[in-house]
Amino acid sequence: MSARTIQGQKNLQNINQASKDGIGGSPLRPDGNLKVKGEFAYSSDMWHEDMLWGTALRSPHPRATILSVDISEALKVPGVYAVLTHQDIPGSKYYGLEIQDQPALAIDKVRYHGEAIALVAADHPETARRAVKKIKVEYEVLTPIVTEEQCLDPGTYGYVHEPHEYKSHAYGNICHEQRLVSGLGVTDEVRALADVIVSGDYEVGMQDQAFLGPESGLAVPAEDGGIDLYVATQWLHVDREQMAPVLDLPEEKVRLTLAGVGGAFGGREDISMQIHACLLAQHTGKPVKIVYARDESFYGHVHRHPARMHYEHGATRDGKLVFADCRIVLDGGAYASASPAVVGNAASLGHGPYVIPNVKMHAIALYSNNPSCGAMRGFGAVQAAFGYESQMDKLAAELGLDPVELRQLNTMSEGDYMPTGQQIDSPAPVADLLRRAKEMPLPPPLDTAHLDVRQLPGALSNTSHGEGIVRGVGYSVGIKNVGFSEGFDDYSTARVRLEVIGGEPVAMVHTAMAEVGQGGVTVHAQIARTELGVEQVTIHPANTEVGSAGSTSASRQTYMTGGAVKLAAEAVKRALIEKGRRRYGWTHDDITLAGGKVVSARSGALVSMVDLLGDEAIDLTREHHHRPTVPFDKETGQGFGHVQYTFCANRAVVDVDVELGLVKVVELTAVQDVGKALNPLSVVGQIQGGCTQALGLAVMEEIIVRDGKVRNASFTDYLIPTILDTPPIPVEILELPDPHAPYGLRGVGEAPTVSATPSIVAAIRNATGLALNRIPVRPEHLTTELPG
Amino acid sequence: MEFLRPATWDEALAAKAEYPTALPIAGGTDVMVEMNFDVHRPSAILDLNRITELTQWSNDGGVVRLGASVPYARIIDELSGPLPGLALAAHTVGSPQIRNRGGVGGNLGAASPAGDSHPALLAAGRDVFVEAASVRGTRLIPIDDFYVGVKRNSLAADELIRAVHIPVADGPQQFSKIGTRNAMVIAVCAFGFALHPKDGTVGTGIGSAAPTPRRAVEAEEYLRGVLAERGLWESGDLLGTEVIQRFGELVKAAASPIDDVRGTADYRRHALAVMARRTLTWTWNDYSKQIRSAA
Ligand SMILES: Cc1cc2nc3c(=O)[nH]c(=O)nc-3n(C[C@H](O)[C@H](O)[C@H](O)COP(=O)(O)OP(=O)(O)OC[C@H]3O[C@@H](n4cnc5c(N)ncnc54)[C@H](O)[C@@H]3O)c2cc1C
């Protein structure tokens, strides 16, 4: 299959920047202008001669037995090439990120609203949609198991997966659980040590990643019986690992290339259309493209786990934490997805960046007939942060202390221990982050003499001309792990090639890293420039021809694949210098590469790379493994489970129309330690983006599910912040190197998403005096206690 | 699917008569979304975009005749003076892109209870008319008779909206809308209000809080009575909290909202009362300033 007929692969290949654009510089992203101008080729823009369009029939019921599926009428529709059910799957019928519990197409039952039952390929997308409507499915509709109470009482309400079907250590509709005890745990004796105790029940709604580019890809059958898939995803190799057994192909015959990704945020970590498109391509022998419609996208990917949490904190009169107890119930929905890792994060990070002598924790993820939940930016840590930070404010109020001071009395620093027993062995300037957030100048008060409605809650909706507006300020801090945890070796691979092209030394970086908007390709070029002293760097399209780069998630790509690029570039550098030593007999011990030359610090330029390389290329591949971690003990939660920690502190300033319950975030300050900012502009962008997504969770973003049915599968009613909702986000960056990480860097993308939400809720509480134990905070939560 | 592109109004009427099930498309900001979501599979689409007269308006000093397809962006730029309530409503519609495409004709065609034009049109008075035409002739439908059910209007199958007749404002007008974000949001509920000093009436319009947009009749009557009895139109004196409060209560009572994904019925009632009080206060303050400066 020639790649020339594939359109939409050219986005990220050329980065021609001067070497001032090495690490620490802020060269612009190659995809930036294209995206702003609407010229970027997304996965949904791909086209292939003779291609078919695939689409899926999805269940309208959250729980039902499938009595029969009749595809005969659909097959008769002119233009239809294939209609497939699970019976047509050549290999394994199940897949899954961590636990293979999800059928590629429903088998005899459906477990969530929107589960795929059958596939159609046709010569026109409209034909495919029409044919789907002709598939007749007979259901026996069952009462969905959707609440915590129902899930935990399978004797009465039944099982989402029959116990004999469990493919892991699940039991009784509990997909995964993790307990943790440290110090003396939390007993009545421990409680008695505290002067004050505060407790609360907190709830987090189901957030969606809400990426703008719908799931899409193009599967092209190859002459060798294999398949080439061009797809927008977060991790090419883990897709392939799950796809190959279902397609009954050896992994090397399933070749993936990254297509233009329109946002991810965790929502592309699971399989969506990958297997479906390949099954149809295998069956028809033709290229098959699938692009989800917007509603299908909301059904077709996992969401952030909704959570119900109970927290109890005890402290001494002077504000020192004595104990913390917590139970976190995450609704994982129908299939496991990333639930085990989400539980692990919630349990291990769920007490926040605080030193607490006595801790207890119990976190579980349920199986239910709600939509499946899995990875989303900051998973596990986001939900918990809303709980523990709400508790810190409550405790401060109870003790009559300033909420920032109370936190600072208890924040962890380098050398302290996590409740898991893991020592924090790199900088953890938590108290300092809070201090800096607090010391940033406050925005001016509302200028009531010259009101501009655009600055008020409601903006141009014209609901207030100054009436009812109260300002509030809130603070929060959060902790997130970087990289995969609990013994997982999520290594990254990079290939770096150095050769002379057009009379200039040019480096090429080839990885399987999914560029999903984080700016990884920019950073890879920066690393190659710095390590190799060249100006020209080309980024090879990401594909499975090179080894795994792991997932673009867990704030890990710059650390992991950036680290691999560094290793590979260093190896190339050594090989080049070695070549020079052999040829010229250099004995210098101060040789490096700079400005396209091999240079000695004392003797100056030794030879140009062009002359040294001639027509030979140096082409080396290296793997980067982070330091090993171990699984947490199931009962005590103890273990060196995380690679690295990252912290962010926020201050939110809000104006609330307390009569109407409308909120305008006036300013959202972020202070974060990033170890080393490889690209400061990108770092600020990540932090501002993370804060904005956190703002969405605080005040508007929620998938509304009633009796297992999704009620707002569109951007009409799933609201994400617009520019009028997004305040100025001043960012202060600290660079305290982590000795264990490449360049000392710390993953950036998730920490602000963890920490910013609670600061906004705290600010709304400050303005209203309300308890606000559930997010997103909706207008009616702010007005129910008011006379109207 | 047929795609009909009449060049003139008469051709459009002829086409609509021939294909009564043809779906008219103006800005397409409702039509295209619904087609994407597979709500409609029309046998034919009747594109009105070549008919330039639909994008024109005229003002004879007493009444603005607003072409069905004049986009919101132009209502804001060109008609904020004579139609302040509608212009404020237009400000709240969607995003700049939507305001460049969508217009009042489409809003009336869709007749969604959440359409933002409706409360402003109702508040503009009982002399607002939808000019509907067919090959059979033209009729002026009073705005109060236009909305007949959820997303249903009183157009016949062969009729098209040509224009809307809206009296030029003779007093202050306001429009407020609740949304859970600060832009580009469908109304949780909305309220339009206008003072009509010339005939001593007031106008109200409630959006997104009943199966159709509706007027708060008792609230209008109450306020009309109070303003007349106390000679407030002449004096411009303060209304007093009791009157404002009562007006809010009556607006609230006029709504019959439901709980849905956008908000609860209780919240909608509460918010309507607040918006009613605030818009009354703003318009009355403006009015009394005018009276006092004239005095
Ligand atoms: C992102 C987005 C945001 C939006 N935000 C808002 C909002 O804030 N407030 C709001 O009120 N609406 C909103 N809408 C809906 C829409 O923009 C408005 O209803 C707009 O007024 C429709 O105008 P249009 O010209 O685009 O109508 P079209 O989509 O062309 O038509 C709408 C309906 O009217 C019919 N129609 C159009 N012209 C005529 C005619 N001359 N005679 C008879 N029938 C006709 C059509 O057949 C169709 O049924 C939004 C839409 C989108 C996509």
H helix runs in A533-631, sequence order: 557-584, 609-613
Give the integer Cα–Cα distance in Å for A188 and A89.
Answer: 56
What pTM did the predictor assign?
Answer: 0.96
Give the integer Cα–Cα distance in Å for A598 and A362.
Answer: 58
Lowest mean pLDDT among A1-10, A251-260, A371-380, A698-707: A1-10
Give the integer Cα–Cα distance in Å for A75 and A154.
Answer: 40
Whether the CB-CB separation of A58 and A297 falls below 8 Å is answered with no
Average confidence (pLDDT) over A692-721: 97
State if residue B116 touches ligand 1 by the CB under 6 angstroms criterion.
Answer: yes
Give the integer Cα–Cα distance in Å for B91 and B95.
Answer: 9
Of A465, A716, A722, the CB nearest to B182: A722
The more confident residue out of B109 and B34 is B109
Distance B32 CA to ligand 1 centre (A): 9
Give Cα A5 distance to the centre of its chain.
32
Ligand 1, residue B54: give the atom nearest the CA. Answer: 41
Q: What is the pLDDT of residue A682?
A: 97
> Residue A156: is its pLDDT beyond 60?
yes
CATH architecture of A19-38+490-624: 2-Layer Sandwich (3.30)
Distance B150 CA to ligand 1 centre (A): 15
> Residue B124: is its pLDDT beyond 70?
yes
Q: CATH 3.90.1170.50 region(s) of chain A?
A: 43-142+234-261+268-292
- Contact map slice: A 654-693 vs B, CB within 8 A: 659-662, 664
- Contact map slice: B 82-101 vs A, CB within 8 A: 88, 91-92, 95
Distance B148 CA to ligand 1 centre (A): 18
How far are the Cα atoms of A429, A455, A552, A569 from residue A673, in angstroms, in the given order? 8, 31, 20, 26
Residue A19 pLDDT class (50, 70, 90 cuts): low
Distance A135 CA to ligand 1 centre (A): 33
CATH class of the region B1-49: alpha beta
Burial (CB < 10 A; 0-12, 13-18, 19+), residue A425, is middle
3-state secondary structure A303-314: ECCCEEEEEEEE
Minimal Cα distance from A695: which residue of B? Answer: B181
Give the integer Cα–Cα distance in Å for B272 and B206.
Answer: 8
Q: CATH 3.30.43.10 region(s) of chain B?
A: 1-49
| Rg, C-alpha atoms of chain B | 19
Instruction: Name the E strands within A585-677.
Output: 591-594, 597-600, 604-608, 618-624, 644-657, 662-673
Average confidence (pLDDT) over A433-442: 98
Average confidence (pLDDT) over A351-360: 98
Q: How many residues can be counted in chain A? A: 788
The hierarchical CATH code for the domain A43-142+234-261+268-292 is 3.90.1170.50
Average confidence (pLDDT) over A267-280: 98
Give Cα A637 distance to the centre of its chain.
24
| Count of beta carbons in the 10 Å neighbourhood of residue B12 | 24
Distance B33 CA to ligand 1 centre (A): 10
Distance from the B133 Cα atom to the nearest Cα atom in chain A, whole angstroms = 32
Distance from the A665 Cα atom to the nearest Cα atom in chain B, whole angstroms = 10
Topology adopted by domain A307-485+631-784? Aldehyde Oxidoreductase; domain 4 (3.30.365)
Of B88, B177, B267, the CB nearest to A779: B267
Q: What is the pLDDT of residue A7?
A: 39
- Considering chain A, what percentage of its residues have pLDDT values greater than 90? 96
Q: Which residues contact A252 (CB under 8 A, 6 or more apart)?
A: A226
Whether the CB-CB separation of A231 and A262 falls below 8 Å is answered with no
Give the integer Cα–Cα distance in Å for A122 and A136.
Answer: 18
Choose among B210, B209, B216, B285: nearest CA to B249: B216
Helices (H) and strands (E) in chain A, counts: 19, 32
CATH of B173-294, one of 3.90.550.10, 3.30.390.50, 3.30.70.20, 3.40.50.10490: 3.30.390.50
Q: What is the pLDDT of residues B57-67, one digit of tens each?
A: 999 999 999 99
A38 touches chain B (CB under 8 A): no
Distance A719 CA to ligand 1 centre (A): 20
- Contact map slice: A 603-622 vs B, CB within 8 A: none
Instruction: Give the CB-side neighbour count of residue A613, counting CA atoms within 13 A.
Output: 27
Give the integer Cα–Cα distance in Å for B19 and B4.
Answer: 10
Of A293, A664, A704, the CB nearest to B36: A293
- E strand or H helix that includes residue A133: helix A125-133
State if residue B25 touches ligand 1 by the CB under 6 angstroms criterion.
Answer: yes
| Count of beta carbons in the 10 Å neighbourhood of residue A64 | 21
> How far apart are the two ends of chain B, measured CA to CA in Å?
64
Which residue type occupies A211?
F
Residue A4 pLDDT class (50, 70, 90 cuts): very low
Q: What is the pLDDT of residue A18?
A: 38
Q: Which of B23, B25, B34, B130 to mutate to test the pocket of ligand 1 (most atoms within 8 A of CB)?
A: B25
Token digits of residue B54: 């639909």
Average confidence (pLDDT) over A332-338: 98
Average confidence (pLDDT) over B3-14: 98
Token digits of residue B53: 């007269």
A725/B95 touch (CB, cutoff 8 Å), yes or no: no
Give the integer Cα–Cα distance in Å for A161 and A109.
Answer: 10
State if residue B13 touches ligand 1 by the CB under 6 angstroms criterion.
Answer: no
Q: CATH 3.30.365.10 region(s) of chain A?
A: 19-38+490-624, 307-485+631-784
> Residue A55: is its pLDDT beyond 70?
yes
Q: Which residues contact B260 (CB under 8 A, 6 or more apart)?
A: none
Mutation for testing the B interface, residue in A711, A780, A781 having most B CBs under 10 Å: A780
> Residue A13: is its pLDDT beyond 60?
no
Ligand 1, residue B26: give the atom nearest the CA. Answer: 30
Burial (CB < 10 A; 0-12, 13-18, 19+), residue A195, is middle
Q: How many residues can be counted in chain B? A: 295
